Structure 1
Amino acid sequence: MMAQLVYFKEWLTTLYKRHIEIILPILKLLFAFFALSMFQRMFYYNEFIDKPWVFLAVSAVQAFLPISFLYYAISILIMINLWNVSMDIFLGFVIFFIICSLAFIRVDKKHAIIIIATVLLFYLKLEYLLPVLLGMSVGFGAILPAAAGIVTYFLSVYMTDVSTLLTTSTSSSFGMGLQRIVNLILIDKKLLVLLVTFALIIFITTLLCHIFYERAWMFAIFVGNIAMVLLLLFGRLIFELDYTIWRLFLEVILGIGCCYIYRFFRGIGDVSRIEKVSFEDDEYFYYVKAVPKIKVTEKNRNVTNIKSEENEDDLLFDDITEDSDLPDKDGKEAEKE
């Protein structure tokens, strides 16, 4: 069974590398269209921009550009929607966008996908799949982008209350909406618990993955997910939050599966063939422990066609007949001449 999975992984990896010029733009287009549609549903305050052809055009451009372009497109989409609700909230989000762009996106383009993925998974109610996977794949650098994504999602939740307040209020003044958003952020214990939990789990998982041990990744998966469950249950008990317990445990199981899939495609070490090497130079001794990845190559099958003796005799007779006709024909032509 393991060999068949390795065959499939090698085949899929080879197929992707061979056709990366076609597959990657298609994947980026589909992801961009899905992300733009989901963000429009979260911040649905401007019907004019809610056009599928607009999202499709932006997604087609994104297919040939870095992923940071999608982050900027989504931010502009949010700004257009917030403009219809409150000018002060719009300006506050612009400041938040500039801070994220300078602090995360400018440093590393992959931080853009972390922010987008965090918001989408929260919206799809699959947020607990994320922290351990980020710790394994990205490391400590994923803490701040994930926090920015969590704040962006909760902003979409708060906007429902704020838009209703601003619509029904008779004496709305400049700064009222932004003040309401800040107050909700400060008093929301669920947001605080999630920010602390995600930061700690990413930190713990990253540390465990870098232990000098060949199965550290497996240890990190289980410890990270168990620690996340304990922290969330502790936060639920202390602050009386409304976590759904069965959904939490179900997502943890799915998260473990996602981590194993990620690790499988990244490469699992063959601990039966560990090699230890030592060498030195003028200043240091070096001790290296190498764990080779599991790789399986399919055997090349050679097919040999075996012909019967009758067919070979027929072919030989045909060849002799054809050869014997040639001299006669040449001789007749010579006589005519």
Structure 2
Amino acid sequence: MKSFLRLRSSLISIYKNNEIILNMLAKFVISFICLLSVNSIVNFSGHGIQSIIVSVFIGLTSLILPMYVMLIVMMGLVILVASLSGLILSAVLSGIAAMIYILYIRLFKKEAVIIMLTILLLPTTGIYLVVLISPLFFGIGGIGAIFCGGILYHILKIMPTLINTAFNSGLKLDTIFAQIDVILTYILGRTIYDQRFLATMAILMVVFLVVYLIRIWTIDYALYIAVFCGAVTNILGFSVAQIMIDVDLNLPIMVGSTVICALVGFFVSFMSRVLDYNRAQVVQFEDDENYYFVKVIPKIELSPKRDNLYPYSAMETMDDDIIIEI
């Protein structure tokens, strides 16, 4: 136990000493990879070195801009490329982007990072990490981020076909409404009307909800139980979906990936906090207006000089220089 706590203290100390740099680096990496992925589909800046240079340049703006602004920038780039094939497609995509912003992003700006991670990881088993770990730090609004990310990913996936459809529609159809109908029908057919898409999104959102609800539950080891139950829900959900509607996935790989992601979730939970549940106490008191029922759980801390474990409640009598407070 001491060795794990010593490692934890060292890692957290490194993070705290370089918090600003590490956070900026993480934002840049996520933005850069997203830009490369988007460019590989819609080709807003060419290919090869040119694509990397443009992605790096735009990604550097994430160092000063919030993640939700970077998400809006990427949606704008996609709309700009779509406008080259016709104003109708760009208008439809602008409408979808505006709806996502008005109904979700402007209300849950911090959850924009979940949207970007969903876009990146949805085609891989890495998406399990998003739904198992993000509920440990984000609120219930993260469920909407999973769905928005899924919508945006599938729209990006069919963008080449959409551009071709918009071009052909412009040649063959006489009315604007007919062109809009063709584009919307294709988008809805690959998202909202797609049974596999809905099943995948439903499972991922349920996993997020399970982890979140257990995480906020006042039980011992809530974080670890939340990750475990989320992993079980993920395995059962995709197994049932595979049997019922033949979702495109490899069950052994899905199970193995979920187990690995759950282990990562346990590690993140351990890094987040370590509590001494054996020393938990219930405190009750009241005033003129309220009655308070509070459960106090001491943190377990490591003294680097004495190499001993101390509950957080005992730290007040110790010197600050020998305690690593987390």
TM-score by length of 2: 0.82
* Aligned residues of 1:139 and 1:202 also touching (Cα < 8 A): no
Rounded Cα–Cα distance in structure 2 between residues aligned with 1:27 and 1:185: 30
Give the residue type in structure 2 aligned to 1:9.
Answer: R
Residue in 1 that maps onto 2:246: 240
Change (3 A) 1:210 1:46: same
* Aligned residues of 1:139 and 1:203 also touching (Cα < 8 A): no
- 58-67 or 165-174, which moves further after superposition? 165-174
Q: How does 1:6-45 map to 2 (within 5 A)?
A: 6-44=5-43
Give the residue type in structure 2 aligned to 1:239.
Answer: I
Give the residue type in structure 2 aligned to 1:269.
Answer: L
Answering whether residue 284 of structure 2 is matched by residue 296 of structure 1, we say: no
SS in 2 for 1:299: coil
Rounded Cα–Cα distance in structure 1 between residues aligned with 2:284 and 2:151: 49
Change (3 A) 1:16 1:240: closer
Q: Which runs of 5+ in 2 are unaligned?
A: 174-178, 308-326
SS in 2 for 1:296: strand
Q: What is the count of residue pairs matched by the alignment?
A: 300
Give the residue type in structure 2 aligned to 1:184.
Answer: R
Change (3 A) 1:92 1:224: same
Rounded Cα–Cα distance in structure 2 between residues aligned with 1:41 and 1:23: 27
Match 1:182 to one of 188, 196, 204: 188
Rounded Cα–Cα distance in structure 1 between residues aligned with 2:148 and 2:203: 14
Shift of 1:96: 1.8
TM-score by length of 1: 0.79
Match 2:291 to one of 265, 285, 290: 285
Higher CA-based Rg: 1
Rounded Cα–Cα distance in structure 2 between residues aligned with 1:162 and 1:54: 24
Match 1:193 to one of 189, 199, 219: 199
Shift of 1:104: 2.6
Rounded Cα–Cα distance in structure 1 between residues aligned with 2:80 and 2:239: 38
SS in 1 for 2:303: coil
Rounded Cα–Cα distance in structure 2 between residues aligned with 1:42 and 1:48: 10
Residue in 1 that maps onto 2:113: 113
Shift of 1:164: 5.3
Rounded Cα–Cα distance in structure 1 between residues aligned with 2:58 and 2:208: 32
Q: Which runs of 5+ in 1 are unaligned?
A: 302-337
Give the residue type in structure 2 aligned to 1:197.
Answer: I
- 8-17 or 273-282, which moves further after superposition? 8-17
Give the residue type in structure 2 aligned to 1:120.
Answer: L
- Name the Cα RMSD after superposition: 2.6
SS in 2 for 1:295: strand
* Aligned residues of 1:88 and 1:178 also touching (Cα < 8 A): no
